[in-house]
């Protein structure tokens, strides 16, 4: 045990490699780990760290039923903490706001209230909140219809993306005079226009309690799907980002996991491009020796960080996308092979080999989801856990 007493933790979205890694971290620290997902064979169910696995309804389409299922598991299994993964965080927070008495007393839900989660997730509202607090931002504007798009006064390229979106989905690089046509505008999910700056891109990941950072990692953007959804991760030290995150978390009095995307622009400084108030891939940089489980329970005084230079990759994603020129500036196939060979994947573990052997079964879930919802594989991976600001079914 790494400093916190034995707990029972329920992790949702067990198909995710983040859930698998978190289960291994908590299991190695002596905690009992339960897993839930709406697909029948999430990869984390094959881990020796998972005590039990539960199949649930789909959060996106059956949010109340899903929340009730998670609450029932928490009650029957004596769960001390629920850690939602991906945008199930916002869906769970939203349902709890409407049905506050579903979970038993003593069960900690590791996220902030829905209003804060939604405000941080909303790319426009997050930038507006930073501006109100006097923090520098890239130029940005809200775009609710085609007329507002056509009247933007940007005289430089800008990114155009829905305020609720993720990864590399629906991001347009727009040049003045070359506006896109045929965009879909909804009241719940308008678009943000944001200056397209040139610089060095970074991501951060933090575990927080009541406005205090308990664990923290920073990594540069290297291999990524279309330059936005990272495939490889390497821990670095960046004092400016660390201080920025500390002040941001304190200002919002945030509890939960949070990831922030940054760009450092020569001659202008550091800007946060967007916020993900939930689990992100930075958790992959922690190993059991860091005792990061203490951060989830808030029992550590010092900030826990991964080892400098710690490296991890999403192996299946690298095989599908990492060799492409669009995944890295100046990418070559030889360079891709070199980096692939020298970076540990997040799935294989000598102490826990079954998830890697079961990967074809787990990927079969995703292929089935792609066929079911008629979306591509990256979208299928999280489709039934996504939230785009729309009112959830009652």
Which pLDDT does position 23 carry in this prediction?
Answer: 98
pLDDT tens-digit profile of 330-348? 889 989 899 888 888 888 8
Taking each helix axis from N to C end, the angle separating 88-98 and 114-121, rounded to the nearest 10 degrees, works out to 150
Measure the CA dihedral 364/369/375/377, to 10°.
Answer: -30
Q: What is the C-alpha to C-alpha distance for residues 143 and 297, in angstroms, rounded to an integer?
A: 40
Q: Does the CA dihedral 292-295-297-302 come out positive or negative? A: positive
Do residues 197 and 276 lie in contact, with contact meaning Cβ atoms separated by under 8 Å? no
Q: What is the C-alpha to C-alpha distance for residues 101 and 104, in angstroms, rounded to an integer?
A: 8
Beta strands in the chain (DSSP E): 8-11, 32-37, 50-55, 81-83, 108-109, 140-143, 158-162, 172-174, 191-195, 200-209, 212-220, 224-225, 229-230, 232-234, 256-265, 269-276, 311-313
Tally DSSP H helices, then E strands, for the chain. 13, 17
Instruction: For tokens 């991890």, name the residue.
Output: 312
Q: Cα–Cα–Cα angle for 107, 78, 30, nearest 5°?
A: 95
| Greatest mean pLDDT among 1-10, 233-242, 372-381 | 233-242
Do residues 285 and 233 lie in contact, with contact meaning Cβ atoms separated by under 8 Å? yes
Q: Is the pLDDT assigned to residue 135 strictly greater than 80?
A: yes
Pairing of strands 81-83, 108-109: parallel
Q: Is the pLDDT assigned to residue 191 strictly greater than 90?
A: yes
CATH topology of domain 8-111+351-393: Rossmann fold (3.40.50)
Pairing of strands 269-276, 256-265: antiparallel
Q: Which residues contact 219 (CB under 8 A, 6 or more apart)?
A: 202, 203, 204, 230, 233, 234, 235, 236, 282, 285
Q: What is the C-alpha to C-alpha distance for residues 258 and 246, in angstroms, rounded to an integer?
A: 11
How is the chain split into domains, by residue range?
Answer: 8-111+351-393, 139-195, 200-345
> Among residues of the chain, what percentage have pLDDT more than 70?
98
Token output for 55? 């199949």
Segment holding 150, helix H or strand E = helix 146-150
Of 164, 167, 158, give the one whose Cα is nearest residue 321. 167
Q: What is the C-alpha to C-alpha distance for residues 376 and 9, in angstroms, rounded to an integer?
A: 32
Of 289, 281, 351, give the one whose Cα is nearest residue 312. 281
Which pLDDT does position 394 carry in this prediction?
Answer: 66
Q: Is the pLDDT assigned to residue 170 strictly greater than 60?
A: yes
- DSSP letter string over 251-274? HHT--EEEEEEEEEETTTEEEEEE
Which pLDDT does position 162 carry in this prediction?
Answer: 94
Residue 322 is given by DSSP the state I
Q: What is the C-alpha to C-alpha distance for residues 5 and 100, in angstroms, rounded to an integer?
A: 27
Q: What is the C-alpha to C-alpha distance for residues 267 and 16, in angstroms, rounded to an integer?
A: 39
pTM above 0.85, yes or no: yes
- One-letter-per-residue 3-state SS of 348-359: CCCCCCHHHHCH
Do residues 4 and 29 lie in contact, with contact meaning Cβ atoms separated by under 8 Å? yes
Which pLDDT does position 393 carry in this prediction?
Answer: 72
Mean pLDDT computed over 318-329 = 87
Which pLDDT does position 378 carry in this prediction?
Answer: 81
| Greatest mean pLDDT among 162-176, 258-272, 319-333 | 258-272
CATH topology of domain 200-345: D-amino Acid Aminotransferase; Chain A, domain 1 (3.30.470)
pLDDT tens-digit profile of 3-22? 568 999 999 999 999 999 99
Alpha carbons within 13 angstroms on the beta-carbon side of residue 37 total 28
The residues facing 203 across adjacent strands are 219, 261
Q: Does the CA dihedral 251-263-163-393 come out positive or negative? A: negative
pLDDT tens-digit profile of 51-87? 999 999 999 999 999 999 999 999 999 999 999 998 8
């Amino acid at each position: 045990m790494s400093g916190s007493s034995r707990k029972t933790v329920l992790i949702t979205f067990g198909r995710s490699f983040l859930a698998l890694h978190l289960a291994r971290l908590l299991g190695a620290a002596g905690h009992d780990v339960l897993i839930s997902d709406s697909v029948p064979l999430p990869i984390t169910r094959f881990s020796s760290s998972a005590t039990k696995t539960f199949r649930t309804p789909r959060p996106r389409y059956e949010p109340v039923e899903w929340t009730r299922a998670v609450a029932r598991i928490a009650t029957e299994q004596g769960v001390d903490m629920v850690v939602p993964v991906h945008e199930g965080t916002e869906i769970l927070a939203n349902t709890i706001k409407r049905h506050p008495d579903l979970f038993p007393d003593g069960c900690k839900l590791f996220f902030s209230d829905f209003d804060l989660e939604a405000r941080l997730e909303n790319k426009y509202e997050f930038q507006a909140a930073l501006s109100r607090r006097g923090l520098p931002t890239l130029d940005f504007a809200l775009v609710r219809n085609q007329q507002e798009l056509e009247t933007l006064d940007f005289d430089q390229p800008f990114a155009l993306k829905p305020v609720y979106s993720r990864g590399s989905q629906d991001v347009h690089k727009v040049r003045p005079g070359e506006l896109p046509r045929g965009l879909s505008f909804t009241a719940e999910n308008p678009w943000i226009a944001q200056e397209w700056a040139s610089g060095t891109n970074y991501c951060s990941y933090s575990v927080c309690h009541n406005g205090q950072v308990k664990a923290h990692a920073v990594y540069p953007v290297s291999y990524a799907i279309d330059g936005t959804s990272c495939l490889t991760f390497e821990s670095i030290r960046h004092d400016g980002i660390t201080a920025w995150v500390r002040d941001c978390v304190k200002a919002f009095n945030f509890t939960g996991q949070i990831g922030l995307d940054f760009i450092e622009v020569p001659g202008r400084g550091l800007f946060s491009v967007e916020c993900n108030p939930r689990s992100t891939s930075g958790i992959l940089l922690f190993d059991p020796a860091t005792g990061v489980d203490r951060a989830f329970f808030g029992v550590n005084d010092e900030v826990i960080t991964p080892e400098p230079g710690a490296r991890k990759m999403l192996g299946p994603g690298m095989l599908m996308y990492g060799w492409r020129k669009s995944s890295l500036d100046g990418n070559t196939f030889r360079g891709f092979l070199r980096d692939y060979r020298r970076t540990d994947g997040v799935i294989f573990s000598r102490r826990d080999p079954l998830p890697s052997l079961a990967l074809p079964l787990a990927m079969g879930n995703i292929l089935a989801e792609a066929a079911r919802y008629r979306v591509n594989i990256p979208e299928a991976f999280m489709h039934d856990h996504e939230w785009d600001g729309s009112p959830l079914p009652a």
